[in-house]
Amino acid sequence: MKKVLIPTKLDKFAANILVDKGYTVVLDATTPMEELVKANADAEVLIVRSEKVTPEIIDALPKLRLIVRAGAGYNTIDTKYARRKNVDVMNTPGANSNAVAEEVVAMILAVCRFVVPGDITTRAGQWEKGKMLGREITNKTIGILGLGNIGRLLIKRLEGFEMKVLGFDPMIAPGMAEKLGVELCSVEKIFAESDFISLHIPENNETKGMVNRKLLSLMKDGAVLVNCARSGIINEADLREIKKEKKILFCTDVYPKDEPGEKPVADIADLMLPHLGANTKEANMEASKRAAEQVIEYFEQGITNCVVNKGIPDGLDASYQRLAYVLTGIVRCYFGKDVHPARVETSFYGDLQPYAKWMTAPIAAGISGEFDPSMDSTDAESFLKNRGIELVNRTTDEGKHYGEAMTIDLFAGGDKISKASVRGTITESNLMISRLNNFDKLYLEPTGHNLFAEYSDEPGVIGKIASILGEKQINIIDIRAPQDLKAGRSLAVIKTNVEVPRELIEKIKSAIKAIAVFQFSYNP
């Protein structure tokens, strides 16, 4: 009889399901976690919400086999240490999505109709109706950054308001966007034309501080910005300055830390909530239900779809998964973040053929930083399918004698289908890019910062690039310069000591009249 420890305030529904299946369940949200763990050292399953699961907690449970985070995020769990201890970690993605989508609607309506100040002043005996001329949201325009589970549910919840929906998500194919009733456009257009903007994107190196002065200055006077994603997405200092110039309304329920105390945005937020997005009875019950069902499926059927820290099968070198991620990332950068992928085709040669499905997750992560590469192929396939991206694994021709190599082809959608192709392998334990499009014998080791420039073949181009980089004190570490003689084109791949700023990339593109210039950085 397996013991399940639940040291958190989780709906009893989970405990009831597990008890009915013969599990022993300890549900205690009041006793300190360290004490509970010590008293239940024989537990094989740990179900948590936002509690920290440290190496010390894992070591205190020698029989532990599974940790389940009843929710989407799992940054409070040391997943790498759990893997070293052969403990699987699961989450319950999507369980909270509807709750967050409804919270966005509630915040928009509340700030537009003075719900909070109206209640406070009326209870105080005042009658400030004249100061509370509200706005309707029907027939207005809403811009949504991020069209994952929450973004899509938000669109559905707003259907009754007959709003025009603008959307940005590089992972959504045009056909899928059309089904959702979304006009795909640039982030700049969303900020310039929307009456309401809702953020539903992850916080990472690309998105941290992306909502800055440049974007905020495009907003309409009186437009509403809602952040129920992550606090770091917004440059708060820039928002503070822009609010002095424009009557932007700002609603948030996310902060650097979820804890009592002063909040850094208190002076600029028109509506603040204590991270209530997933805090509903229904979301709690759904997360509870999924957590229990996943535990049962894990032990009784061996289902591991939601394990987020999976290892790799015997016989596969993890370097090849990193290679799949890098190759995909390069062709993704070749098109640019504003181009929507429609199809990805793969070829795995030699002994890699049996491991094709184990490459699906890193390929999905290479296309979108939103996908966690530690998830499995089923999750990756679902992620790509939901965004309208077709995945095709081709039969390979072993007569080409590529050895243990792989080719990743990415096709972009839109009015004109275009393709970018890259091939690579592992050489002396190093990742090696052997070909990009028709530029063969590239032999690039892709770690660090690599600037790619494709241009019509003519003398002096590399010198121009080097001169522009030198003006900004950027050092060149290595240069690769293969040619496509048939097309009359050249490719310069320049490894630099630092990341090349975006404005400098645009300057280089203009100076050499490039067909494409992009940067790919990889620091494993």
Q: pLDDT tens for residues 347-395?
A: 999 989 889 988 999 999 999 888 877 677 888 898 899 889 999 999 8
Question: What is each CA distance from 305 to 48, 81, 90, 361, in whole angstroms?
Answer: 18, 20, 9, 12
pLDDT digits (tens, 9 = 90+) for 132-151: 999 999 999 999 999 988 99
Q: Is 398 exposed, middle or buried (0-12, 13-18, 19+ CB in 10 A)?
A: exposed
Q: Report domain extents, the chain.
A: 3-94+281-301, 97-272, 310-437, 445-524
> 469 — alpha (psi -120 to 50), left (phi > 0) or beta?
alpha
- For 40, list phi and psi in degrees, rounded to 5: -130, 50
Residue pointed to by tokens 């700023």:
501
Predicted local confidence at residue 474, as pLDDT = 96
How far the first Cα of the chain sits from its last, in Å, is 42
Q: What are 256's two structure tokens?
A: 């650097």
pLDDT of 417 over the 60 cut: no
In this predicted model, what pLDDT tens digit does every residue of 35-86 receive, in sequence order?
999 999 999 999 998 899 999 999 999 999 999 999 877 878 998 899 889 8
User: Which fold is adopted by the domain 3-94+281-301?
Assistant: Rossmann fold (3.40.50)
From the list 143, 138, 160, 131, the residue with the least C-alpha distance to 225 is 143
Predicted confidence (pLDDT) per residue in 491-522, tens digit: 999 999 999 999 999 999 999 999 999 999 99
pLDDT greater than 70 at residue 414:
no
Where does the pLDDT of residue 329 fall: very low under 50, low under 70, confident under 90, or very high at 90 and above? very high
As a whole number, mean pLDDT of residues 167-186 equals 89
* pLDDT above 60 for 431: yes
Q: What is the 3-state secondary structure (H, E, C) of 343-404?
A: EEEEEECHHHHHHHHHHHHHHHHHHCCCCCCCCCHHHHHHHHHHCCCEEEECCCCHHHCCCC
Q: Copy the structure tokens of residue 305.
A: 């779809």
Average pLDDT over every residue of 411-440: 88
Can you tell me the mean pLDDT for 257-266?
Answer: 91
Pairing status of strand 489-496 against strand 476-480: antiparallel
The domains spanning 3-94+281-301 and 445-524 adopt the same CATH topology: no
In this predicted structure, the answer to whether residue 152 has a pLDDT above a threshold of 60 is: yes
Confidence (pLDDT) at 416:
54
DSSP string, 282-307: HHHHHHHHHHHHHHHHHHHH---TTB
Total count of residues recorded for the chain = 524
pLDDT at 415 over 60: no
Distance CA 422, CA 407 (A): 6
178-235 pLDDT, tens digit each: 999 999 999 999 999 999 999 999 887 778 899 999 999 999 999 999 999 999 999 9
Beta bridge partners of 144: 167, 198
Q: Give dist(CA 241, CA 245) in Å, integer.
A: 7
The closest alpha carbon to 230, from 142, 145, 166, 337, belongs to 145
- Amino acid 483: pLDDT: 94
Cα 452 to Cα 380: distance, rounded to the nearest angstrom: 28
CB 96 within 8 A of CB 277: yes
Strand 224-227's sheet: what is its strand order? 183-184, 164-168, 141-145, 196-199, 224-227, 249-252, 271-272
CA 477 to chain centre: 31
Per CATH, the number for 310-437 is 3.30.1330.90
CATH code, 97-272: 3.40.50.720
Alpha helices (runs of H) in 235-350, residue ranges in sequence order: 236-245, 281-301, 318-335
Q: Read off φ and ψ for residue 159, nearest 5 degrees.
A: -55, -35
**At the topology level of CATH, where does 445-524 sit?**
Alpha-Beta Plaits (3.30.70)
